[in-house]
Structure 1
Amino acid sequence: MMGLVKLVDGLNGAIRWVLAACLLGMTLCTLWQVAVRFLLGTFSLNIAAPWTEEVARYLMIWVIFLGASIACRKAQLISLDVVVFSLPRKIGVFMRYVSLVVCLAFFVLMVQLGMEFLEFGAIESSPVLSMSKTWVYAAMPLGFSLMILNTVALIIETISRGEDIRFTNGENVE
């Protein structure tokens, strides 16, 4: 089981590089848009770069889904932990596992919904780049599939190490 955890961690390392490239691409596209719109406009050079907004938006979608999947690995998504910490330890830990199982069910549902979006994306194209929106919509099922893997890896790791699942996000309230 720990082999799966190591595999997921290795995959997350590769995803971090993809995230870095996407963030760099977003930054460069946004800078280019600003340069074209404001800097070149001051010199009466009317050059249009409508593709930059579209590319930056699509990269942001990928960053959101891939970044959320990595955040699942260490339980770093936004959550209200006040309940699990105010309960006795055993009940709080149990509630935390229950919440993760509910999250897993939600992630599975979102993968299914994402697959339906993929079908829709096959018949739709982006307005400026005229590319199939399948590439954009693929972020959803892939991201949620990775969230499933990372959440399962989190559960396996905490159970096998005997750690308190409530402290996986770096907090220590006790």
Structure 2
Amino acid sequence: MTEATRSLLTLLKRVEHGLDALLQPVVFATMAALIGVITLQIVSRVLFSAVGWTEEVSRFLLVWITFLASTLAFQRGRHIAVTFAVDALPVQLRKGARILATLAVLAFLIALVVIGYRYMQVQSYQKSASLRLSMTYVYAVIPLSAAIMCWYALVDLVELIVKGERVGESAQ
């Protein structure tokens, strides 16, 4: 591995770790907000009359948590994967299969960015029922999370090409 390749990979990994360091507290804070809103909803229903906006806010927070946490799971390789066929291949074929799989994931994520952005624009005229919030803000998480996962997939692809394996995988 040349020095330029090593420094490029180091830069890509630093940006990846920076995104990770930014997303973790955001997901944590969103989860804490969701717990607070649901607690308010329960308490208000039991003791008073229900606070109307809590159901809507909790639904929107759950959507954002789901998409943003999925980027963290993607970066850590925690999504469901069936690898027994690829793991049974010889090392060079395994590397090629993993590169092809990463390219397919990258293509899907790029399509999700484009389609998610278009869907966000189409829904921009719709307002939420109780808060009258533009649904653009709710649907913005789709292209955002797909773009972040694209970055992670790109870093994985470069790492596969340069090193032949992802971090945490062992070549046989």
The two structures share one fold, judged by TM-score above 0.5: yes
| Identity across the alignment (%) | 27
In structure 1, stretches of 5+ residues that fail to align are none
Evaluate the alpha carbon distance shift between residue 74 and residue 97 of structure 1 in structure 2; reply closer, same or farther with a 3 A threshold: farther
Deviations 1:64-122 (A, max 9, x none): 22112222223222111121112223222221221111010000111111111111221
Give 1:172 shift.
Answer: 6.4
Contact 1:104 1:148 in 2 (8 A): yes
Equivalenced residues, count: 164
Question: Do residues 31 (structure 1) and 39 (structure 2) align?
Answer: yes
Evaluate the alpha carbon distance shift between residue 90 and residue 26 of structure 1 in structure 2; reply closer, same or farther with a 3 A threshold: same
Aligned-partner Cα distance in 2 for 1:73–1:156? 14
Letter in 2 for 1:52: T
Secondary structure, counterpart of 2:125 in structure 1: coil
Aligned-partner Cα distance in 2 for 1:50–1:86? 55
RMSD of aligned residue pairs (Cα, Å):
2.0
Secondary structure, counterpart of 1:48 in structure 2: coil
Partner residue, 2:21? 13
In structure 2, stretches of 5+ residues that fail to align are 1-7
Partner residue, 2:137? 135
- Give the alignment's TM-score, normalised by structure 1: 0.85
Letter in 2 for 1:127: A
Contact 1:5 1:156 in 2 (8 A): no
Evaluate the alpha carbon distance shift between residue 94 and residue 151 of structure 1 in structure 2; reply closer, same or farther with a 3 A threshold: same
Question: Do residues 86 (structure 1) and 88 (structure 2) align?
Answer: yes
- Greater CA drift, 131-140 or 81-90: 81-90
Contact 1:110 1:141 in 2 (8 A): yes
